[in-house]
Amino acid sequence: MSWLTEYVRPKIRTLFTRSEVPDNLWHQCPNCQQMIFHRDLAANRKVCQHCGHHMRATAAERLEWTFDTNGYTRIELPKPVADPLRFRDTKRYSDRLKEAREKTHTDDAILVAHGTIGGRKAVAAVMEFNFIGGSMGAAVGDAIVAAARLAVLQHAPLIVFTASGGARMQEGAISLMQMPRTVIASQVVKDAGLPFIVVLTDPTTGGVTASFAMLGDIQIAEPGAMIGFAGARVIEQTVREKLPDGFQRAEYLLQHGIIDMVVKRTDMPETLSRLMGLLATKDQRDAA
Ligand SMILES: [Zn+2]
């Protein structure tokens, strides 16, 4: 037995045990269930090459995809009082913040950067859905205000990419106060005669939909993005009617005049640059 158990069996075992394969090399498309190699997915900006489904993206990825190569600088954002209500549900809010920061490597649910898109100056604020569901608390409000001020200072259009579950419940009324604040911020940009463009991405709901996300001079959405205020199930229960197919999806909203365009992710930078050109005044065009 010794020859078999001590020599042959270990050899066979090494033949059949797989070397450690990272489990994130292949991704399954949530829409068509096809497997996609991670490099193909990254090259295609997280759009499924089989069915065109637009997967969710991080704020950092969106900055990379939107601005010209090496064409942007992130700005440091104000840091409001953390956990102003000392809120606790199943977990402390301060612990939730800590976890979210470790997971996303961002301070809160938004990043702001300035740079060039297709050679045109722009300021972009991009929401991070992975940070407590992209919820809007004081930090997000502060960031939108900072982005608006920067746009005015630089005399550049403001582009906002939204992705949000709504209000940051752990900040209570302070979270709700961000709605009028961000509305005023968007008005500051418009008062300066600068374009304010909103790109709605999957999902955009609640207090973000009910404030700055619907106030763009141009409202763009990514294909298939879920955009609404309350969830479909809540509405269905309230109105006691079956909702139509595609309700709250970008294409449905385009058909019903809520948004202006549905733009593929790969076409987004070119579209934004073109729109900025069209919306610019003669002075701005001359300065660019
Ligand atoms: Zn797919």
- What is the distance of C-alpha 218 from the center of its chain? 17
Dist. CA 235 → ligand 1 center (Å):
28
pLDDT (0 to 100) of residue 19? 57
Dist. CA 206 → ligand 1 center (Å):
27
Dist. CA 42 → ligand 1 center (Å):
14
How far is residue 231's CA from residue 228's CA, in Å, rounded to a whole number? 7
Average pLDDT over residues 239-264: 96
Dist. CA 245 → ligand 1 center (Å):
19
pLDDT (0 to 100) of residue 5? 72
Q: Write out pLDDT tens, residues 6-48.
A: 777 777 676 666 555 566 899 999 999 999 999 999 999 999 9
Q: Write out pLDDT tens, residues 87-105.
A: 999 999 999 999 999 999 9
CB 166 within 8 A of CB 207: yes
Dist. CA 267 → ligand 1 center (Å):
18
Average pLDDT, the chain: 93
How far is residue 276's CA from residue 154's CA, in Å, rounded to a whole number? 14
Q: Write out pLDDT tens, residues 205-251.
A: 999 999 999 999 999 999 999 999 998 999 999 999 999 999 999 99
Burial of 195 (0-12, 13-18, 19+ CB in 10 A): buried
Close Cβ partners of 6 (under 8 Å, ≥ 6 residues apart): none
Dist. CA 44 → ligand 1 center (Å):
12
pLDDT (0 to 100) of residue 14? 66
Q: Write out pLDDT tens, residues 110-158.
A: 999 999 999 999 999 999 999 999 999 999 999 999 999 999 999 999 9
Dist. CA 20 → ligand 1 center (Å):
27
Q: Write out pLDDT tens, residues 46-55.
A: 999 999 999 9
Q: Write out pLDDT tens, residues 159-200.
A: 999 999 999 999 999 999 999 999 999 999 999 999 999 999
Dist. CA 36 → ligand 1 center (Å):
9
pLDDT (0 to 100) of residue 6? 75
pLDDT (0 to 100) of residue 285? 72
CB 285 within 8 A of CB 156: no
Within a 10 A sphere around the Cβ of 41, how many other Cβ atoms? 17
pLDDT (0 to 100) of residue 287? 66
Dist. CA 27 → ligand 1 center (Å):
10
Dist. CA 38 → ligand 1 center (Å):
13
Dist. CA 167 → ligand 1 center (Å):
31
pLDDT (0 to 100) of residue 224? 97
How far is residue 67's CA from residue 121's CA, in Å, rounded to a whole number? 10
Is a pLDDT exceeding 70 seen at residue 288?
A: no
Dist. CA 64 → ligand 1 center (Å):
23
pLDDT (0 to 100) of residue 1? 57
- pTM confidence score: 0.90
Dist. CA 166 → ligand 1 center (Å):
27
Nearest Cα neighbor of 225 from 79, 13, 55, 24 is 55
